[in-house]
Structure 1
Amino acid sequence: MYFVLFSVLACLSTCHCFTGNDENHCGLLKRLLESSRVSVEINKKGFHREAVTTVELSPDVLSGVRVLLVHRWPRGVYLDPYQLASLSVESDWQILLDSAIDLELPAHKTSGFVTYVYPTVDGPTPRLLKVTIPVHGRYHKPSYDGKTFTSVDIEAPELLLRTEKCTQLSVFEPHAVVDAPCTADNSSTCSWVKLQHQQEQGPVGLQFPVGDGSLVTPVCGGTLLVTMICCVALSKYLWKHRLV
């Protein structure tokens, strides 16, 4: 009788302890979301740039927090999967592409894509995370209105956080709970809490040169004329020297 009563009390105490720990971790994670910031800047010039994302976390960072950055890239740029594969081996982050990327297509024949970036953290989660990703500009349609450059806007990534020690995800309003791959291996899906109202800065605009569409006709005509003159000259030379 006493043994059964003791077992029941021990079980209730253990469940209460687990519930308390879960609520404590959820509360810390919510405060972490409210004090976190994400920003992006672009380095280098020309068609080959670097997108540097900075994540500032709360001073009292919760141990064991996983961080995920979701980049939504416009069709005017691309990432080189082969370059990313080599960089991931040496960098402190891993990346997952949501679709295959054709490196040769011009901008107007492609669509935007999404990448999932997982900063690799050994030990306690640091307060400041930086991820540098090489970004390349695509060729664009020629301009017929006199413009020599076109602009491509790069938005800051979405910040997603999760910890296995918090399971009561309904307490995170107004932050949304979304499903995303757990790791870069894309073997399973987990629930992540997305930071809301994080965009303190607007999109970063990249300028890429474009051709002058008004020159298409004269350039094509001049190229055809030069080709015909060269063919006639070559034919006369071959006929004169009886090479054919």
Structure 2
Amino acid sequence: MYFVLFSVLACLSTCHCLIEKDEKNENHCGLLKQLLESSVVSVEINKKGFHREAVTTVDLSPDVISGLRVLLVHRWPRGVYLDPYQLASLSGQTDWQILLDSAIDLEVPAHKTSGFVTYVYPTLDGPTPRLLKVTIPIHGRYLEPSFDGKTFTSVDIDPPELLLRSERCLQFNNLEPHTVVDAPCEADNSSTCSWVKLQHQQNQGSVSFQLPVGDGSLVTPVCGGTLLVTMICCVALSKYMWQHRIT
């Protein structure tokens, strides 16, 4: 009799703990959803020329929940590249970490390469770090010469996707319209975790900047002139060496 009573009490206690745990998880996931719906992401481009800075600002409001992780997924166009060596040199000076999805060739022109993706992990300092700002150095690639008279072309940079994750939100129910996606957990490993992606971002559109374009109509005369000058120099040098018996 006592054994049956003890079993019933233990079962009721376990059920109560599970219900309480589910309620806490649901409440924390609700806060995560509220944070997604009110957060704002924007990007701006600073500096001029081929070497610029992409400054991303994330306004996390109204409140930052405990155990929150933030991930910014940048999808870069083929007109720009990030220098891995520069990023490595900056790793100890920034409050964010970055992971590249592929190797980057620094010498390839824009029309012979493709876009790439980076995963940026900002560091959340302080009890309520509502405003995050990430400054990433970017560089313009040399563009294919234009044959229609254009001297500049636009490169469009889209704001990054905002992904959030919380250690206390373990079940992703009732988070619509936001979706759950898999992405790297950290910048220094290849394991993946489940992140909640902001579906409808309250942000500006893409920002653009201009890069100079070569004149394609000058390719033939420039190549011809270069070849002619090279041949003249070779002949003059050969004549000089022959006259002075230089071997």
Give the TM-score normalised by structure 1.
0.94
Q: SS at 1:62's partner residue?
A: coil
Q: SS at 2:187's partner residue?
A: coil
1:6-38 C-alpha deviation (Å, 9 max, x unpaired): 322221221111011001001111111110010
Distance 1:231 1:188, change over 3 A: closer
Aligned to 1:149: 152
Q: Tell me how far 1:168 sits from its aligned partner.
A: 2.2
Q: Tell me how far 1:123 sits from its aligned partner.
A: 4.8
User: Which residue of 209, 212, 224 corresponds with 1:209?
Assistant: 212
Distance 2:128 2:114 in 1: 35
The aligned runs of 1:51-62 (5 Å cut-off) are 51-62=54-65
Is 1:4 matched up with 2:7? yes
Aligned to 2:17: 14
1:118-148 C-alpha deviation (Å, 9 max, x unpaired): 0122453511101110000111111111111
Distance 1:83 1:240, change over 3 A: closer
Aligned to 1:126: 129
Aligned to 2:87: 84
In structure 1, list runs of 5 or more residues that go unmatched: none
Is 1:39 matched up with 2:42? yes
Is 1:137 matched up with 2:140? yes
Distance 1:118 1:45 in 2: 26
Is 1:228 matched up with 2:224? no
Q: SS at 1:70's partner residue?
A: strand
Is 1:168 matched up with 2:134? no
Aligned to 1:101: 104
Distance 1:241 1:6 in 2: 110
Q: Tell me how far 1:84 sits from its aligned partner.
A: 1.0
Distance 1:220 1:39 in 2: 44
Identical aligned residues as a percent: 78
**RMSD after superposition:** 1.6
Distance 1:106 1:199, change over 3 A: farther
Farther off after superposition, 208-217 or 70-79: 208-217
Distance 1:50 1:14 in 2: 50
Aligned to 2:78: 75
Farther off after superposition, 63-72 or 166-175: 166-175
Is 1:181 matched up with 2:147? no
Distance 1:185 1:239, change over 3 A: closer
In structure 2, list runs of 5 or more residues that go unmatched: none
Q: Tell me how far 1:199 sits from its aligned partner.
A: 5.2
The answer to whether the 8 A contact 1:28-1:62 is kept is yes
Is 1:29 matched up with 2:32? yes
Q: SS at 1:165's partner residue?
A: coil
The answer to whether the 8 A contact 2:38-2:60 is kept is yes
The answer to whether the 8 A contact 1:64-1:124 is kept is no
Distance 2:202 2:212 in 1: 28
The answer to whether the 8 A contact 2:63-2:128 is kept is no
Aligned to 1:117: 120
Give the TM-score normalised by structure 2.
0.93
1:178-233 C-alpha deviation (Å, 9 max, x unpaired): 11011112331111111012153121112111111111111122222222333333
1:47-100 C-alpha deviation (Å, 9 max, x unpaired): 110000000011222111110000000111000111112212221111111000
Amino acid at match of 1:150: T
Amino acid at match of 1:224: L
